[in-house]
Structure 1
Amino acid sequence: MREQVEKMILNRQKTTLATAFAIANDKSLAEGISSNSIENSSYDELISKFIENELYKNSWMQILDKDLQSIYVSSNGQNGAVSNQNREDLLEASTLKKPLISVSIGEGDFGIRAIVPIIKNSALVGLVELSSRFDAISKQMKDIGVDSIVVLSKEYKNTLKNHLSKNFIDDYYVANIDASVVLMEYLRKNGVHNYIHTPQKFENHYIISTYPLKNIQNIVIGHYIMFKKRDDVLNINLDFFMYKWIGIAIVAFMIMMAVLGSFLHYRNKKQKMYYKNIIDSSSNIVMVVDKDNIINMNKTFFKYFNDYDTLEAFKAEHQSISDFFVKEEGCIYKDMDGVNWLEYLIKNPKNSLVKILYNEKEYYFTVGVSLISEEDAHYSAIFSNITDEKIYQKELEHTNITDPLTKIRNRYCYNKQIKKECASSNRYFYPLSLVIFDMDNFKNINDNYGHDVGDKVLIEYTKLITTCLRDSDIFCRIGGEEFALILPHVNKSDAYKLADKIRSKVQEHNQIVAITMSFGVTEYKKDEDLELTFKRADKALYEAKNAGRNRVVAI
């Protein structure tokens, strides 16, 4: 039950975020906010269409301007609207221009919330906030025979003002409107606290399971409590339940026998072929391997390694599937610091991600490994393809760290990387320098030539600066025309030389509009607060500006 509700919440989060993205990318929305000309009727129609096409009709939308003032709330969200004052999620989304999704609390609801920035010409013009309650999930769980009570932790009771469901169990707010009155009374009688700290209980004809609900800071703010009648499992469907698990056990046994079929002799060839057909029908790659060789595999293997028709043809050129493993952060590879990949997976089953490159195609798999013959040191290895999910994750991560105009890294990436590089500098005792710089009198370009020309200047000179940098240098746009360079293994003197080289190239480039740049340079001091390092570089930039611009100052 916990796995099922976790999948439903994740799916609900993805669909809520996707819907918010779709609305935020409507060009007319950005134009309407910029010109203060949004027509409520058009967005009433828009949100009604989204609600009409979703499974349950319990979403509502809010549109905010860049100052986080609410300028539109869908009619079905009036009771659930939240105060925007001092909301950390809105501040983070607007500051970092980063989409956020979480389980969160508003003044009148407790549910799933997605916030997506609305961007026009790389500038934030507003936010779309889309919220949905847990009713859709509780109704889906009801369809599989599970009753749900979603409760907000009692310490957050005062956050609520409108109380959409009107239901409380002592000081625990009940978030789903369709919660069973009988089960609410059951929890009131036995005490909610007796269930939220215990993942599973069997009592009074119920199987009771609890799933924690966490906000964006990974803090538990509520619980999803599920009830299933034991009679449904133990009496009414006893025969089905028993035969189902007997059937699963038989299939599992046959699969294992098929994997072992490469080195066991069966008298009945027909039965042996039957077992092998079960393995071959799997969409996963199933293999029997030792540390150096592949002993057997199913047909799915050749779907990916399609230049080969047989195991013998493959082994004529390669020993192991690990020959195609790609060394990438977060992925296992052939020899993990001198440890064979099979041994590593046996000891670290949770770190099971593998990247495979074959015929210029990249695949991502999760791998499960089990020892099936200690005497022969034979293992079963099952590779499950998650390429689509991994690509989606990478695209989302790239979007989060990339400036949409210049295609270099953004402020969010800068904040992450400076922490990481400072920690490495402290640990491994290497120099680390920071350069803060911006374009001189950039406002005049926008005023005299227009923002389109200003954008072209930013793109052109960003490309120029990139040609001066190493692969290890981290180049970020941290403001409108303000940039930062994080330079690992570079001291202040060398950072000054690089900054002056860039300054000179910018001055000589003279493309689109002639510009100059001013630079502030500093070197990170061991165990120093990151804010002090940034302020020192910013002070150097300020001095460069005061000294006449188009120069480098190091502090």
Structure 2
Amino acid sequence: MPHWAALAETGIDMNKLDAAFKAFVESAPVLCLAADRDFITIYVNPFYEHVHNVTLEQAVGKHIKDIIGEEGFQDNLEYYNQALEGNIVVRDGSFNKLDGSIHHYKATYAPIYDGKQVVGITGVVLDTTSEVEMVKTNKQLEKTKSELKTLVALDPLTNLYNRRYFSGISKTTFNTSKRNKSELSFVILDIDHFKQVNDTYGHDVGDQVLIKLSKLLSTSLRKSDVLCRYGGEEFLIMLPDTNVERACLISDKIRQRINELSIKPTEKQKFNFTVSFGVSSINCEQDNSVESVICRADKALYKAKEGGRNRVEFIV
């Protein structure tokens, strides 16, 4: 037995209940629709009028599709038919309104009875557009925040991590390595005679050198390694779980690859460049900061420069 008919048998004053129901439907912030079996509208409440920009007088007598559009009607037709078969259907959906905007909703469709015969359907629709848009906005804000965070961490020319980001992550890794007594090495590399490159070919070519070197370094390292542009023509690499001997071998392989790298400012010009490396590793017993390890690597770099450049030196 339909719920409304069952209420009538309880002895409730149906006139009062009808009045209360009407007041609720007229004031509720949900869309209420009633239509006959041919989907001709017989009632819409004020909130429905507001959302669809249509008056009760304009809506009554119109086919549902003339209010919500053909696409919206076809999208709901399966559920309307289920209601006409005597079922109560709940669904989430969306459609393009006639003004082109997207309407999101949660709908409940139910049959209208005349005795035991279904003579039409009702639709109670909760407008979730603002909720959906808020979720989308929050997701976009999170994405933008993440992108900004990434941009702040990157060097704009080479797209490598910048010195500020490297400083933070290297301190964290240093503390972890010291606590676990695990290996950790740092490599500083500097382009030999880079000023001469800029003076001879110009800063645009100098930028090409930095970009090509950055790409070569990126493809020469493991995912766990951290590479940054430390400043100017200087780069810094952090090698977790790597002792000084292994770090020197890695550095020398990279050095050899760089020696084979050619720069062509023009079709008729071509030059190669070299890089010097300084390496050092953490001493878990003596080092109290990551800066002390990097400082030793920097001293090893100067040692490589003084030793003739294009070489790898280390200080433990």
Q: TM-score, normalised by structure 2?
A: 0.56
For residues 482 and 492 of structure 1, the distance between their equivalents in structure 2, rounded to whole angstroms, comes to 20
Question: Is residue 456 of structure 1 aligned with residue 193 of structure 2?
Answer: no
Matching of residues 354-373 of structure 1 within 5 Å: none
Is there any run of 5+ residues in structure 2 with no aligned partner, and where? Answer: 1-5, 8-16, 32-46, 48-88, 97-105, 108-130, 265-270
Question: How do 1:243-258 and structure 2 match up within 5 A?
Answer: none
One-letter amino acid of the counterpart of residue 250, structure 2:
L
1-structure distance, mates of 2:273, 2:242: 27
Aligned to 1:390, which of 142, 149, 155?
A: 142
Alignment of 1:68-467 (within 5 A): 277=30, 299=92, 386-467=138-219
Instruction: Please list every run of 5 or more consecutive structure 1 residues that lacks an aligned counterpart in the other structure.
Output: 1-265, 282-295, 304-308, 311-364, 366-381
How far apart in 1 are the matches of 2:93 and 2:242? 50
Alignment of 1:546 with 2:298, yes or no, is: no
For 1:297 and 1:413, locate their aligned partners in 2 and report how far apart those are by CA, in whole Å. 50
Q: Over aligned residues, Cα RMSD in angstroms?
A: 3.6
Say which SS state the counterpart of residue 437 (structure 1) adopts.
Answer: strand
> Counterpart amino acid of 1:523?
S
Q: CA deviation at 1:434?
A: 0.5
Instruction: Tell me the residue number matched to 1:525.
Output: 283
Q: For the structure 1 residues 553 and 390, does the alpha-carbon distance in structure 2 shift closer, same or farther, using more than 3 Å as the test?
A: same
Within the candidate set 273, 280, 285, 1:515 is matched to 273
Paired position in structure 1 for 2:255: 503
- CA 471–298 in structure 1, closer or farther in 2 if over 3 Å, else same: farther
Instruction: Give the match for residue 69 of structure 1.
Output: none
For residues 237-264 of structure 1, the C-alpha deviation after alignment (integer angstroms, 9 at most, x for no partner) is: xxxxxxxxxxxxxxxxxxxxxxxxxxxx
Q: Deviations over 1:383-436 (max 9, x none)?
A: 675112112212221221111111111111111111121122133332111101
| Residues 301, 505 of structure 1: alpha-carbon distance in 2 compared, 3 angstrom cutoff | farther
In structure 2, how many angstroms separate the alpha carbons of the residues matched to 1:408 and 1:301?
43
Shift of 1:299: 2.6
Q: Could you tell me which amino acid in structure 2 is paired with residue 544 of structure 1?
A: A
Deviations 1:149-178, CA, capped at 9 Å, x for gaps: xxxxxxxxxxxxxxxxxxxxxxxxxxxxxx
The structural deviation recorded for 1:302 is: 11
How many correspondences in the alignment?
201
Shift of residue 511 of structure 1? 3.0
CA distance in 2 between partners of 1:277 and 1:457 (Å): 64
Question: Secondary structure of the equivalent of 1:545?
Answer: helix
Structure 1, residues 129-149: CA drift from partner, whole Å, max 9, x if none? xxxxxxxxxxxxxxxxxxxxx
The one of 287, 294, 298 aligned to 1:534: 294
Does the aligned pair in 1 maintain the 2:304–2:313 contact within 8 Å? yes
Deviation string for 1:107-126 (max 9, x for gaps)?
xxxxxxxxxxxxxxxxxxxx
CA drift at 1:539: 0.5
1:276 CA drift (Å): 9.8
- Does 2:239 correspond to 1:487? yes
Higher alpha-carbon deviation: 433-442 or 392-401: 392-401
Q: Note the 1:39-78 alignment, pairs <5 A.
A: none
The structure with more helix, counted as a fraction of residues: 2
Equivalent AA in structure 1 for residue 92 of structure 2: K
- Once residues 302 and 397 of structure 1 are traced to their aligned partners in structure 2, the CA distance between those partners, rounded to angstroms, is 36
**Residue in 1 that maps onto 2:35:** none
Larger radius of gyration: 2
What secondary structure sits across from 2:263 in the alignment?
Answer: coil
Distance in 2 of aligned mates of 1:384 and 1:456 = 40
- SS of the aligned residue for 2:190 comes to strand
Task: Indicate conservation of the 8 Å contact 2:228/2:235, yes or no.
Answer: yes
Q: Name the SS for the 2:310 alignment partner.
A: coil
Cα offset for 1:504?
Answer: 0.5
